[in-house]
Structure 1
Amino acid sequence: MKWLVLALALVAPSQAGLRFGCSTLSIQRLDPLVEPGQVPSQHLHQIVGGNTFAPTMPDNTSAVHIGDKGTCTTCFFSEDFSNYWTAVLYFKARNGTFHRVPIYDNADLEGNIQGGMTVYYTQQDFSSNGNQKITAFKPGFRMTVGSPTIDSKAKSVAGLRFTCLASKTTRFPETAAFPTAPCAAGVMAEHHFPACWDGVNLDSPNHQDHMYDTAQDSGFAPGGPCPASHPIRMPQLAYETLWDTRQFNDKSLWPTDGSQPFVWSTGDGEGYSTHADYIFGWKGDALQKAMDSSCMFDACGNGKPLLSQTVDKMNACSVKDNVGEPTEGWLTSLPGKQTLHKRANVFHA
């Protein structure tokens, strides 16, 4: 973390940037945003954040805010009861069986975080946090980025990318599809959300139209001005998940046709269906206080201005498994997926 703080300090940022770890809260087939109340949901997710996560969660019509209901969170900042989730990565063996790829902690985080992901709330880009007024998300706010139905590079979303890791600190190049060769330190999945809000709707029917993306490229790149239709600049929310593919790097385990062997829990063996979900759950005005401060990354903890917690407390937080199906070990099919489609590595329920 020290090298990141130093690098950003050199540009004298005027507003905060948050980068912090969240350990895994649960891995199960639930999606209270896209498939509320459905148990199980269509595909498996990795979920991090507050322990209010459930098949159905309060929305913007409810007076109940999840930031006020949570009793623990897997995130470093203990006032953050938001939920963040993505699909889960599997390795497909030559015999057609599947094994979940483990997740490991990112570089320069707070300690021995179990699984999970790295979460960012930035202002402008990764080199300068700019000087715009950033409006924090509101109670009831929710959004998604990407879609499990995207099946081609032409339809891929710019902010959703993969990096073949030479080490935990590798950040480039980024690709829209899964890496096609073994990666020495695993594969990082990156999810960047739009940062311009219409100022009215806390959600929309497709969970995306109330937001607008002005980023010109993938990754932590400067975004253009927010349009009149979506005039409110909000934090640039991003996730990084490090999938530890190292145990599957033996090419003798890969398909005989030379294609890469990894598949999302959606059934996508190319990577284009990568997507992410977010439900805001920061307690009170904690996130706005952080956005109005000049702190950087985990230095925003210990009451400066955010409250933070130990990694042991992060790792201890969990929620009930509502589905109770096997997701570990060698599986004959992906959770919820039964039949093989003709295109390699793609499965449909």
Structure 2
Amino acid sequence: MKWLFLALALAAPSQAGLRFGCSTLSIQRLDPLVQPGVIPSAHLHQIIGGNMFNATMDPTGAFRDEANCTTCFFSQDFSNYWTAVLYFKARNGTYKRVPLYTNADLEGEKGGMTIYYTQQDFETNGNQSITAFKQGFRMTLGNPMANHSTTPGLRYTCLQTVMTRGREEYTLPAQPCPAGIMTVHHFPACWDGVNLDSPDHQSHMYDTGKGGFEVAGPCPASHPVRVPQLAYETLWNTTAFNDKSLWPEDGSQPFVWSTGDDIGYSTHGDYVFGWKGDALQQAMDSSCMFDACGDGKPLLSQSAADLNKCSIKNTVTEETEGWLTALPGH
């Protein structure tokens, strides 16, 4: 992935895009998109965003009007974003959840993810009209049952430092990563313009991305509406497990997703749109960049202390953090 530091991005003219942190709202086995109403769902997720997240999530999107707090920097964003959870598997067969940490360019959030809504790239808003997602919109990326690589937008980066970015891989890194592992989820940015969802939560979208934050190709006639390029970055602090004497005796990498996948193809992301009013469209129509879009220019924002206060009570009560003899749900 091509990476531009925040300072460089802010120096360039004619920009329009959001990049912001969200703290962890909950870590539990719920999945209102793939397994609505199922308590508990098949595997563990890390969830960020608005506090109306639950096992069903009204498909009309009415939950956004009921939410009263969010773990995201922009206080009008009551969307929910979630991914699988990464574990370390010890030689004795027990599992330990890998802790999350916050992107170095962001301050104060607890765990969570870095979220992007970009229009073209990090340097310009381009010359296309960008249509914000509509109330009731939802989508997924990837397949928790995947056993081979089929989704271009899913990548891993073995971090050398907290600030550097390097070669992206399709599978979990085979070697210890000095500053942890970053998972990247780039969602499709072409919408059919009609369906807010689809049975597989993906067919209403089409991907013309070229990898990373490069300029995507034009949208096809079947999916003609360009929407914001949504992306998640999640930083897993694997440094406590970098001692190779802890790794399997055959030298294979020891990390496993909460899906049970130890290769990496099953990483996936889920999204339920929940921005208040037309706030996201206002942002897409502006020339602001990253957190400079806050403080009413045009979006409302909140302090890290305020967003960290937002929480929900877990519906599913089970041990997810200590040394476990099996992954939750397995």
Contact preservation (8 Å) 1:124, 1:130: yes
Tell me what 1:37 maps to. 37
Pairwise CA distance, 1:10: 4.7
Which consecutive residues of structure 2, in runs of 5 or more, have no partner in the other structure? none
Tell me what 1:179 maps to. 173
Determine whether 1:73 maps to 2:66.
no
Q: Cα deviations across residues 140-169 of structure 1 (Å, max 9, x unaligned)?
A: 0000000011112xx331110000001122
Normalised to the residue count of structure 2, the TM-score between the two structures is 0.97
Alignment: residue pair count: 327
Tell me what 2:193 maps to. 199
Tell me what 1:166 maps to. 160
2:29 and 2:90 map into 1 onto residues whose CA distance is 22
1:253 and 1:192 map into 2 onto residues whose CA distance is 32
SS at match of 2:306: helix
- Mean Cα displacement is larger for which, 160-169 or 235-244? 160-169
Residue in structure 1 matching 2:118, options 118, 122, 136: 122
2:267 and 2:25 map into 1 onto residues whose CA distance is 20
Tell me what 1:323 maps to. 316
Pairwise CA distance, 1:13: 2.5
Pairwise CA distance, 1:172: 1.5
Q: Cα deviations across residues 34-78 of structure 1 (Å, max 9, x unaligned)?
A: 100000000000000000000011103xxx522211110000000
Pairwise CA distance, 1:130: 1.5
Tell me what 1:19 maps to. 19
2:245 and 2:269 map into 1 onto residues whose CA distance is 32
2:228 and 2:104 map into 1 onto residues whose CA distance is 22
Two-structure CA RMSD over aligned residues (Å): 1.2
Equivalent runs, 1:1-349 vs 2, <5 Å: 4-14=5-15, 16-60=16-60, 65-109=62-106, 111-152=107-148, 155-216=149-210, 218-337=211-330
SS at match of 1:316: coil
Contact preservation (8 Å) 1:121, 1:238: yes
SS at match of 1:330: coil
Which residue identity is paired with 1:212? Y
Q: Cα deviations across residues 189-225 of structure 1 (Å, max 9, x unaligned)?
A: 0000000000000000000000000012x21121100
Contact preservation (8 Å) 1:196, 1:214: yes
SS at match of 1:332: coil
2:244 and 2:7 map into 1 onto residues whose CA distance is 40
Contact preservation (8 Å) 1:66, 1:82: no
Normalised to the residue count of structure 1, the TM-score between the two structures is 0.92
SS at match of 1:163: strand
Contact preservation (8 Å) 2:6, 2:105: no
Q: Cα deviations across residues 227-266 of structure 1 (Å, max 9, x unaligned)?
A: 0000000000000000000000000000000000000000
Which residue identity is paired with 2:19? R
Which residue identity is paired with 2:9? L
Pairwise CA distance, 1:171: 2.0
Pairwise CA distance, 1:127: 3.8
1:89 and 1:75 map into 2 onto residues whose CA distance is 22
SS at match of 2:9: helix
Pairwise CA distance, 1:9: 4.3
